Amino acid sequence: MAKGTRATAALDKAGIAHGLHGYDYSAEVDSKGLAAAQALGIDPARMFKTLMAWVDKQPLIAVIPSDRRLSLKKLAARCGGKHAQLMEVSEAEKRSGYKVGGISPFAQQRPASIVFADDVQQHGTVYINAGQRGLLLDLAPADALRFLQAQLADICED
């Protein structure tokens, strides 16, 4: 396991407190976020996954709890668009600079607007991918939102 990534280096440079947690990553599971939560013994609602999307041809990063599903319709409406779709794996990896299963919203190669599911405010700390498969960071939601200049919205399916 690496001691850090571009994401953790950016947080360190900004002076944002965070922890690092390694786990055995498996590409074979259906929900990598739920598998990570189980491996670490944490509530899946505190494990947030990073999804790369397009809203009318504009790139967007959506960060939602691992036990929820993204509503593309809500995402498009929240961003003032008409259509939203998830990026293809190759495009998500190219834009973020991370491999799928390890995409972090922090320190992406090609930054984009970020929207967090408003559920994030319910927790004292949340777990988010640290930019490497099998490596998560935990931090206060307010710190993540401020650092990323992210918006909050109801973007999950009901």
Q: How far does CA 21 lie from the centroid of its chain?
A: 15
Q: DSSP secondary structure string, 66-106?
A: TTS-B-HHHHHHHTT-S-EEEPPHHHHHHHHSS-TTS--ST
* pLDDT band with cut points at 50, 70 and 90 for residue 2: low
The reported pTM is 0.94
How much is the pLDDT for 1? 47
Task: Give residue 4's pLDDT.
Answer: 83
* Tens digits of residue pLDDT in 77-124: 999 999 999 999 999 999 999 999 999 999 999 989 999 999 999 999
Number of H helices, E strands in the chain: 5, 8
Determine the Cα–Cα distance for residues 64 and 95; give it in Å rounded to an integer.
19
Tens digits of per-residue pLDDT, 15-64?
A: 999 999 999 988 888 888 888 999 999 999 999 999 999 999 999 999 99
Q: Are 40 and 21 in contact (CB under 8 A)?
A: yes
Q: What is the pLDDT of residue 27?
A: 81
Domains of the chain, start order: 18-153 (3.90.960.10)
Type of residue at 153: A
